[in-house]
Amino acid sequence: MFRSKGIESKSYFNLNYASIIFIYLTYSSIFVFLNNYFPILFFDVLNINRIILAFIQFFAYFILLLRPAFAAITDKYKIKGYQRKYYIVFSGYVLTLIYIFMGLTLNNLLIFGIFLLLIFISSTMLDVSTKSLIIDTAPSDETKKRGFFFITVGSSLGGAFPFFLYFLLIKDIYSLNSWTTLLFYNYMFLIPLLFLLPFINEKCKIQDFKSDYSASYDHSKSCTENKKSNSKISFILLSIFTFLAFGDIIYSYPFFPFILNKFGSGNFNLLNFYLIFFFILSITSTAVGTFFIKRIDPRKMIFILIPILGIIYFFYTVVDFTLFLILYFTAGSLASITNLNISVYIMRFTKENKSLYFHIIATFKNLSLCFFIPLGIFLSNFIITEQLIIAGAILLNLSLIPLIFIKI
């Protein structure tokens, strides 16, 4: 994945990076619809039963807890001599095709739930396999950040495209026909991306490359950190931190309906227009975290950024639309850098050159999604979204408590 000699070692872009961009472009586009636009479709157009939807979401998200099992499979079993490649190709195909079939079942919550479960299975395998490929070929924090930078590039592009389609196609937000047209064009966009998946290259390994970042740490310190990373206490504390750090997801599902109802359809459409360009901000902010903030430890960055995000969330509930836009884009930029540093920090807990240890800890992020997203949907029946946003801010800042006691 990463080139290791001469000019090639300084190249930040190759075929694998292009493949990663398009993988997460597809991945992100699908989940923007699932998490941002489907709530409006369900709550304001189809008027479905939120409690039933909450239970369906819970059982579907529960599959994300099998992430370590998927990681163990990709670590242990090769397909045609490749450790990761064909897991990426197969799961990418399944994810896209199942998502297309899902669009035909939105009026039937049971069938929708089955397809949602299959989407989570395939997307988890895709995510696990791709990130494991990065872990396999990235020997330092800097190169890991670089791999995750290209994930962010793809995610940002994929996140921008649905907003562009929405702004272009949705004339009546309460018209089911408009939403059907929107989904159709989204499908047409995703299918061609699958042609890139077979070009994933798993043969290129780094052997001699040393980054400035990795060189700034001496060998004895590295050995000490590796010993600490195997600490059971650190493992438990990091797992708790990961679970709470993504607890702000509790308000995510009712969030777009909240914006629509609070600021009106005109301002909501304006937000979607600005979100078309949000990918530029995401890529820029992640580039800052990847290529410029090289010598700041990920743990320190997390302690700086999480309290700022918590404060911004509190202000979401009281500001007017103009300030909301500024805060929303600021929070998105800071969240990109925060998530990057969390991923790199968790990667320090790998051992024996296997990605399984990383994915076990990362599963607590999935546990957070599994618990807090359905909980947020369920509670939205009884409390206002502003209270869910405040709860998300509190959970996010509570995550810093276990992180205080982790010393690596």
pLDDT digits 0-9 by tens, 80-115: 777 788 888 899 889 888 888 887 777 778 888 888
Q: Could you give the angle at which helices 252-275 and 356-379 cross, rounded to 10 degrees?
A: 100
Contact 124, 64 (CB under 8 A): yes
| Of 211 and 319, more confident | 319
Is the pLDDT confidence value at 254 over 80?
yes
The confidence score (pLDDT) of residue 393 equals 95
Closest-CA residue to 289 (of 246, 343, 242): 343
Q: How confident is the model at residue 64 (pLDDT cuts 50, 70, 90)?
A: confident
| Of 305 and 290, more confident | 305
DSSP string of 254-300, one letter each residue: HHHHHHHHHHHHHHHHHHHHHHTTHHHHHHHHHHIIIII--SS-HHH
Pick the CATH number of 20-200+218-404 from 3.20.20.80, 3.90.79.10, 1.20.1250.20, 3.30.70.1070: 1.20.1250.20
Tell me how far the alpha carbon of residue 315 is from its chain's centroid: 24
pLDDT digits 0-9 by tens, 208-235: 333 333 333 344 444 444 444 447 788 8
- 356: tokens are 């399984």
Bridge partner list, 351: 354
Alpha-carbon distance values, 29 to 10, 24, 46, 304 (Å): 30, 8, 22, 30
The confidence score (pLDDT) of residue 143 equals 66
pLDDT digits 0-9 by tens, 349-408: 665 445 667 777 878 888 888 889 889 989 998 999 999 999 999 999 999 999 998 876
